[in-house]
Structure 1
Amino acid sequence: MSLHDFSLRRHARSLLPGPGLRQRPDTVEANADELEALLLRLTAVRRLREHHVWEAVRVIRELPGLAVDEWPSRRFRDLMAADALVDAVIHLTSTTEAKLCLRRLSHELGLWTCTLRYQPPGAGRVTFKARHPDLATAILGAFLRSCRGYQLAAGAVGRGQFST
């Protein structure tokens, strides 16, 4: 066995999907998968960057029934231009159709904990938490979890599983 046997270039070509699989499907499941992938990426970052927030905006815009027509707002764009990521992410949490409330922020042992609350009409309250060493990342993580929960609840109501 030689080093040539461990060549990544040679083996990577066989692992790539076929040409038909490289295109994104425009389904709710694909958007949910993108949301899950973004949540996973956020757990690995040391600090939130602007491209993470814009990726979150893109994924959320593609989820049906969550973002209003003029979302994100001009205020959000101004906050992003000013590099105020914490303020921009907090602004996002209050401007979707989920009507989230920032319930609690705490910092213990180097980790920020963000708790967002969603109160669906006719049901109890649902709380979403995220922990991260970076404040903006913790807030965005809780927000993305709430978006996932909102989509699951909206899909269940559409299928008649939850009463509202």
Structure 2
Amino acid sequence: MSLHDFSLSVHALGGPSSSAAHEPLEGDERAYDALDALLLRLTAVRRLREHHVWEAVRVIAELPDLAPGEWPSRRFRDLMAADALVDAAIHLTSATEAKLCLRTLSHEFGLWTCALRYQPPGAGRITFKARHADLAAAILGAFLRSCRGHRLATGAAGRGHLPT
């Protein structure tokens, strides 16, 4: 069995339908497609690696209205240089415009569960969870899910409700 036995279409990653698969993506759409692809990759890894975190930083920096001007911070770079992936992932959760709060972090049956809370303006609180065997991967997974949710919330701000 090889990777060619698994056909992952663009539609499976949350991208455009097959009829529009050959059309070029705009900047924002490309960034959200990369975010979905990174989330999919995280579910397949056994342990989070440094290049996964840097890929997340690159993808998030391309998302509109999420990363502040001086992002990533010097503190984040120092944590990455020290190979402190858990601390770096936690630092990312508090360093974006989404203003996330680490709600729970638990370990059961060999899986870490991370829940991050996001409170968009004018709406209730939203919790994003991720589970993974690796603590840093669970934190980064919940963070990436919240970044996708931030996009939905900012898009719905003018309509007064969050899409479901």
TM-score, scaled relative to structure 1? 0.82
8 A Cα contact 2:118 2:127, kept in partner:
yes
**Partner residue of 1:118?**
118
AA aligned to 1:68 is P
Alignment match of 1:161 (pick from 141, 159, 162):
159
Q: For 1:23-66, what per-residue CA distance to the aligned partner results, in whole angstroms no more than 9, with x for missing partners?
A: x7442111111100000000000000000000000000000000
Question: Quick one: structure 1 residues 163 and 128, their matched pair in 2 at CA, closer, same or farther if it must change by over 3 Å?
Answer: closer
Query: Does the alignment pair 1:54 with 2:54?
Result: yes
Aligned partners of 2:156 and 2:113: how far apart in 1? 28
**Partner residue of 1:18?**
none
AA aligned to 2:101 is C
SS at match of 1:120: coil
Aligned partners of 1:72 and 1:25: how far apart in 2? 26
AA aligned to 2:160 is F
Aligned partners of 1:90 and 1:61: how far apart in 2? 17
Q: What are the within-5 Å matches in structure 2 for residues 4-153 of structure 1?
A: 25-153=25-153
Aligned partners of 1:163 and 1:44: how far apart in 2? 33
Segment of structure 1 superposing worse, 26-35 or 133-142: 26-35
SS at match of 1:98: coil
Report the structure number with the largest CA radius of gyration: 1
Alpha-carbon shift at residue 138 of structure 1 (Å):
0.2
Alpha-carbon shift at residue 162 of structure 1 (Å):
2.2
Alpha-carbon shift at residue 156 of structure 1 (Å):
2.2
**Partner residue of 1:16?**
none
- Root-mean-square deviation (Å): 1.8
Aligned partners of 1:155 and 1:32: how far apart in 2? 13
**Partner residue of 2:19?**
none
TM-score, scaled relative to structure 2? 0.82
Alpha-carbon shift at residue 163 of structure 1 (Å):
5.5
